[in-house]
Amino acid sequence: MMDITQNYFEFLALPVTYQLDLQALSERSRELQKTLHPDRFSHLSDRERRLSVQYTAYLNEAVATLKNPLSRAQYLLKLEGIDTFSESQVQLDPMFLMQQMELRESLEDIASASDPDADIERLRQTVEQEMKSLREQFDSYYQQSTPSAHEAAAVCVRKMQFIDKLGREIEVLEDQLFDE
Amino acid sequence: MALLQIAEPGQSPEPHKRKLAVGIDLGTTNSLVAAVRSGESTTLSDEGGSHLLPSVVRYTEQGVVVGQAALAKASVDPFNTIVSVKRLMGRGITDLKGLQGEAVYRFSEREGGMPYLQTVAGDKSPVEISAEILKTLKARARATLEGELEGAVITVPAYFDDAQRQATKDAAQLAGIKVLRLLNEPTAAAVAYGLDQAAEGVIAVYDLGGGTFDISILRLNKGVFEVLATGGDSALGGDDFDLALAGWFLDQLGGKEVVAGESRYLTEKARWVKEQLTDHESVTVDLDHAGQRISLDVSRELFDSLVDSLISKTIRACRRSLRDAGVELDEVQDVVMVGGSTRVPAVRARVEQFFQRAPRIDIDPDRVVAVGAAIQADVLAGNKPDSEMLLLDVLPLSLGLETMGGLAEKVIHRNSSIPVARAQEFTTYQDGQTAMMIHVVQGERELVSDCRSLAQFVLRGIPPMAAGAAKIRVTFQVDADGLLGVSAKELSTGVESEIQVKPSYGLDDNEIADMLKASYSFAEEDMVLRNLREQQVEADRLLSSLEQAMQADGQALLTAEELDHLREQMAILQTLRDGSDAGLIEQGVKVLSQASDFFAARRMDQSIKNALKGHSIDEIEGNS
């Protein structure tokens, strides 16, 4: 029933760019929530409420996708016809994979370390640094806007996925350490 | 400041036009009802002047007793007197084995694994027992406000899962209350504080009730209360403090086995000691045991050591929620305390130590949730058309599906803003497979067996294909109440299956209808009338909202032909509505709804454009 053909950027009236103004994103999101949220339709008919749930769900999905630097990058590539959301197997250069294995080993060592908190903090900083540099690389390739540059940008995204996963595993480990 | 306008009496509709709507805090230990009157939200008291209704239900051969009178009999009639029923909501019998303190009841298991409590008045489900508490509050509200209720906002712990939320909504339905919204307790508390203080910025709400713990991190901005993250434990509360102390009593008494009534006697004594220790450094308690009276001294220090690990658990949840919210400790401008258990000095001290600021306690922590809920109920009932207030919540626990090997694949992650919809594609794993089991689970763990099972259903009629060739799209949709609906579709054939998730341990719609019928307040005739009334209300709603929409946008968004057609359809529904056939009205509502869907969608698009007016297309293209 909901018929939205606009992409997330258009829907939120934001420029299609990787260097998104997050402040503007949350302002637009708030403005639209005030118009679309089901609570605005609570005393109206079922149909209005159902429609508003669909629109608000689309809005929330749009905001969540654009807010996160990784999914924002993936979404931009998707608009260029490259789908990195549902890839199951990817090829990455051996250097990168080696480095990933080392990072993973240091993650595994943390549980038995003498000062796990400090090790976690160090690893987290490494991950953040790595992510930051990949984001910059992505943006510069993306801005070149040629098919080969888009492919190179896609490689950055695949690397970011690895790093992102590692970041989440650090969080899981942190929870486990806290729960003990 | 927009927030303050909400309370201006001049903006309220005429008193006789105001719709009566209340906020209900359905608590583990106590429940409350509040309403906005003369622009101010206050809790309502019973004839005796007490605001807190003990959440205790006692079944006798003569009928049901709720509240203080039931509580007074808790230790002499333990099997028929149900306390803390909230801890049983949405739970299966197997879950209850893990909960301490509930062992006193006699459960009888029925199909579906939902626990029924054996009482002198027959087997009662937790949903029915909660409904008794809600009925009492509803009666109080009707007596105080002198009128019929339009509906209620009922609060639930933010960390309640889908089954627990659904059970709460079912209880309201059974009590004959229309739920305007299920609202998370910390969000309600934030509303109560936010309106008072006209606050902006990030706040943390620490909510330790009788049986549940919640921590929520919210951002307040121009009337919008946005939950950034939430966490907690739906089985940790002040009751556990009492149990810890009662356990210590038992050790001092020689650790002997106790009968059902005595364990409740000890926890009641423990609660009394806990409450005394809020204002005193130590207290002496007399315990009657095995025909003797024994005196014990309990110091605050001893009590603190008994509950220390429980408090630590809550602090860990605070740390995790801050991280999930992406908020640094020093960004938190205020910490709000909610729930009676935050009166424990050790709790306040630990929270202050963690957040590095003194927590706010200026609104009575027992009442703050109901007060906030009533403010939202007033807005949702349509009494405050100019209100800017909007509450945006998140999903507390990830939702997922069982995949091969008993693993849970997350479809929607915790702390996603709701409403939310997400689809995921799955495939068959055997050649010629024609059916697929869809098992919906909630929780953060990897293994399905460690998550909460919400529902199972089978998608049939998949055409036989090679393994991996079929494409099955499963769509999860969570509404603003945090309730889940799931649909599954095989993409090549369009075979579809849809369920409103009714939790494995819940009541299905037929059971609720039966219970409604069985309850003495609705005779058969009443049911027919009630149904007709409901359909008429829905028809009126549709007609009036369509009428308004046509007045506002009919000229701009509809062709003359479309306008005429809609007018015709509306006239038909009006005729049906004035008749007395509920079924026909229901049909008519459906037909008119469908016929005007396109108009509703056009209006929605129009309002999106208006909302973003001023952000021109130049701006969109400017940077790209």
pLDDT tens, B458-489?
777 778 888 888 888 888 989 988 888 888 88
> How do B56-60 and B81-83 pair as beta strands?
antiparallel
Please tell me the predicted confidence (pLDDT) of residue B213: 92
CA B421/CA B477 separation, integer angstroms: 4
CA B295/CA B285 separation, integer angstroms: 6
CB contact burial B229-264 (16+ within 10 A = b; e otherwise) = bbbbbbbbbbbbbbbbbbbbbbeebeeeebeeebbb
Tell me the CATH number of domain A94-179, given options 1.20.1280.20, 3.40.50.300, 3.40.50.880, 3.40.50.970.
1.20.1280.20
Question: Out of A97-106, B319-328, B424-433, which region has the weakest mean confidence (pLDDT)?
Answer: B424-433
Distance in Å, alpha carbon of A68 to nearest chain B alpha carbon: 11
Distance in Å, alpha carbon of A16 to nearest chain B alpha carbon: 5
CA B276/CA B271 separation, integer angstroms: 9
| Residue B502 scores a pLDDT above 60 | no
Give which of B612, B600, B622 is closest to B549, Cα–Cα: B600
DSSP reduced 3-state for B210: coil
Please tell me the predicted confidence (pLDDT) of residue B522: 47
The phi-psi region of residue B468 (left if phi > 0; otherwise alpha if psi is between -120 and 50; otherwise beta) is: left
CA B406/CA B404 separation, integer angstroms: 6
Cα-trace Rg, chain B = 26
Contact B234, B159 (CB under 8 A): yes
Amino acid at B372: G
Q: Where are the beta strands (DSSP E) in B185-311?
A: 201-208, 213-221, 224-233, 282-289, 292-299
A91 pairs with which residues across the strands? none
Please pick, among B128, B132, B170, B207, the residue that the annotation labels catalytic: B207
Annotation marks residue B148 as catalytic: no
Please tell me the predicted confidence (pLDDT) of residue B265: 85
CA B237/CA B214 separation, integer angstroms: 10
Please tell me the predicted confidence (pLDDT) of residue B257: 61
Please tell me the predicted confidence (pLDDT) of residue B623: 43
B198-244: pLDDT as tens digits: 568 899 999 998 888 999 999 998 889 999 999 988 778 999 999 99
Nearest to B419 among A38, A42, A44 (CB): A38
The enclosing H or E element of B249 equals: helix B238-252
Cβ under 8 Å to B: A residues 9-68:
9-17, 28, 30-40, 42-48, 51-58, 60-61, 63-64
B43-101: pLDDT as tens digits: 999 989 999 999 999 999 999 999 999 999 888 888 899 988 998 898 887 776 655 55
Nearest to A38 among B480, B601, B620 (CB): B480
Tokens representing residue B35 in the block: 């309403």
Contact B222, B5 (CB under 8 A): no
Structure-model confidence comparison of residues B264 and A125, the more confident one: A125
Please tell me the predicted confidence (pLDDT) of residue B97: 62
Residue B272 CB neighbour total at 10 angstroms: 14
Question: A48 and B600 in contact by Cβ < 8 A?
Answer: yes
Annotation marks residue B269 as catalytic: no
Contact B154, B133 (CB under 8 A): no
Which residues, including other chains, have CB under 8 Å from residue B391's CB and lie 6 or more apart?
Answer: A39, B183, B187, B191, B225, B227, B376
CA A103/CA A123 separation, integer angstroms: 8
| Residue B258 scores a pLDDT above 80 | no
Please tell me the predicted confidence (pLDDT) of residue B168: 95
Give which of B78, B72, B76, B170 is closest to B500, Cα–Cα: B170
Cβ under 8 Å to B: A residues 111-140:
none
Please tell me the predicted confidence (pLDDT) of residue B327: 93
Give which of B308, B312, B302, B313 is closest to B249, Cα–Cα: B302
Nearest to B611 among A15, A17, A31 (CB): A31
DSSP reduced 3-state for B65: strand
Which residues, including other chains, have CB under 8 Å from residue B549's CB and lie 6 or more apart?
Answer: B599, B600, B603
Q: Domain ranges in chain A?
A: 8-67, 94-179
Amino acid at A163: I
DSSP reduced 3-state for B140: helix
B164-203: pLDDT as tens digits: 999 999 999 999 999 999 999 999 999 998 755 556 889 9
Structure-model confidence comparison of residues B506 and A101, the more confident one: A101
CA B149/CA B19 separation, integer angstroms: 7
Cβ contacts (< 8 Å) between A63 and chain B: which residues?
417
Q: Which of B222, B481, B608, B619 to mutate to test the interface with A (most CBs of A within 10 A)?
A: B608
Contact B387, B191 (CB under 8 A): no
Question: B421 and A178 in contact by Cβ < 8 A?
Answer: no
Whether B415 has its CB under 8 Å from any CB of chain A: the answer is no
**Residue B243 φ/ψ, nearest 5 degrees:** -65, -40
Contact B140, B152 (CB under 8 A): no
B200 to B168, B219, B588: CA distances (angstroms): 32, 7, 47
Annotation marks residue B431 as catalytic: no
Residue range A3-13: average pLDDT? Answer: 85
Q: How confident is the model at residue B518 (pLDDT cuts 50, 70, 90)?
A: low
Mean pLDDT of chain A: 88
Residue range A51-79: average pLDDT? Answer: 93
Please tell me the predicted confidence (pLDDT) of residue B33: 97
A19-50: pLDDT as tens digits: 999 999 999 999 999 889 998 888 777 788 88
The 3 state secondary structure assigned to chain A is: CCCCCCCHHHHCCCCCCCCCCHHHHHHHHHHHHHHHCHHHHCCCCHHHHHHHHHHHHHHHHHHHHHHCHHHHHHHHHHHCCCCCCCCCCCCCCHHHHHHHHHHHHHHHHHCCCCCHHHHHHHHHHHHHHHHHHHHHHHHHHHHHCCHHHHHHHHHHHHHHHHHHHHHHHHHHHHHHHHHC
Please tell me the predicted confidence (pLDDT) of residue A88: 65
DSSP reduced 3-state for B288: strand
Please tell me the predicted confidence (pLDDT) of residue B3: 37
How many CA atoms lie less than 13 Å away from B259 in the CB half-sphere? 8
CA B437/CA B433 separation, integer angstroms: 11
Distance in Å, alpha carbon of A2 to nearest chain B alpha carbon: 7
Q: Which long-range contacts (CB under 8 A, 24 or more apart) does B456-461 make?
A: B456/B504, B457/B486, B457/B488, B457/B497, B457/B499, B458/B497, B459/B435, B459/B488, B459/B490, B459/B495, B459/B497, B460/B434, B460/B435, B460/B495, B460/B497, B461/B434, B461/B435, B461/B490, B461/B493, B461/B495
Whether A168 has its CB under 8 Å from any CB of chain B: the answer is no
Cβ contacts (< 8 Å) between A9 and chain B: which residues?
620
Please tell me the predicted confidence (pLDDT) of residue A97: 87
Q: How confident is the model at residue B611 (pLDDT cuts 50, 70, 90)?
A: confident
- Homologous superfamily of A8-67 in CATH? DnaJ domain (1.10.287.110)
Whether B379 has its CB under 8 Å from any CB of chain A: the answer is yes
Please tell me the predicted confidence (pLDDT) of residue B343: 93
Find the residue in A nearest to B221 (Cα). A30
| Residue B5 scores a pLDDT above 50 | no
Whether B591 has its CB under 8 Å from any CB of chain A: the answer is no
Cα-trace Rg, chain A = 20
Q: How confident is the model at residue B308 (pLDDT cuts 50, 70, 90)?
A: very high
A7 to B44, B485, B545: CA distances (angstroms): 49, 25, 30
Helix axes B238-252, B300-325, angle to 10 degrees: 150
Global ipTM: 0.86
B45 burial via Cβ count (<10 Å: 0-12, 13-18, 19+): middle
Please tell me the predicted confidence (pLDDT) of residue A40: 86
> How do B436-442 and B452-459 pair as beta strands?
antiparallel
CA B354/CA B460 separation, integer angstroms: 53
Which residues, including other chains, have CB under 8 Å from residue B260's CB and lie 6 or more apart?
Answer: B78, B79, B103, B104
Residue B213 CB neighbour total at 10 angstroms: 28
Residue B13 CB neighbour total at 10 angstroms: 12
Cis peptide before B419 (omega within 30 of 0): yes
Annotation marks residue B207 as catalytic: yes
Cβ contacts (< 8 Å) between B607 and chain A: which residues?
35-36
B19 burial via Cβ count (<10 Å: 0-12, 13-18, 19+): middle
> How do B179-184 and B151-156 pair as beta strands?
parallel
